[in-house]
Amino acid sequence: LLLKKIKKCLGMRTTNVSMENMVLVGFLSCMGTLCIGAAAFSYFEGWTFFHAYYYCFITLTTIGFGDFVALQKNEALQKKPPYVAFSFMYILVGLTVIGAFLNLVVLRFLTMNSEDERRGGRDGGTLTR
């Protein structure tokens, strides 16, 4: 619904939202989420942007190696409640964004696979042994 309104406001001829549009918006949302988190954790933890980006990716994809852990320096849990709240909210929202995007990509591949199977069935089984 939101993408349709955005396309209409931009004056595009077709306002239909394709799967490619949704995947692109999802990908950009993921990249934005990761970059915002990387900038924040880079600032608060004193990490390089690359290390902070790595931390965000590993955390939000639930891989969780444990080699980078936020809130471990200078008693941050006790002395920086706003940073603790930000970290909690970032991880909660980030997991949602990344999970939704991965779900969208999986659904896209499943629909592509079912479309290929339907086309294969209509061709009369063109595959031969």
Predicted confidence (pLDDT) per residue in 5-21, tens digit: 887 888 887 778 788 88
Q: pLDDT of 18-59, one tens digit each? A: 888 888 999 999 999 999 999 999 999 999 999 999 999 999
Region 63-90: mean pLDDT is 93
Q: Which CATH number fits domain 22-115: 3.40.30.10, 1.20.1580.10, 1.10.287.70, 3.30.70.1020?
A: 1.10.287.70
Torsion of CA 105, 107, 109, 114, to 10 degrees: -170
Residue 88 to residues 19, 93, 95, 104: CA-CA distances in angstroms? 31, 9, 11, 24
Residue 88 has pLDDT above 70, yes or no: yes
Q: Where are the domains of the chain?
A: 22-115
Contact indicator for 70, 85 with CB cutoff of 8 Å: no
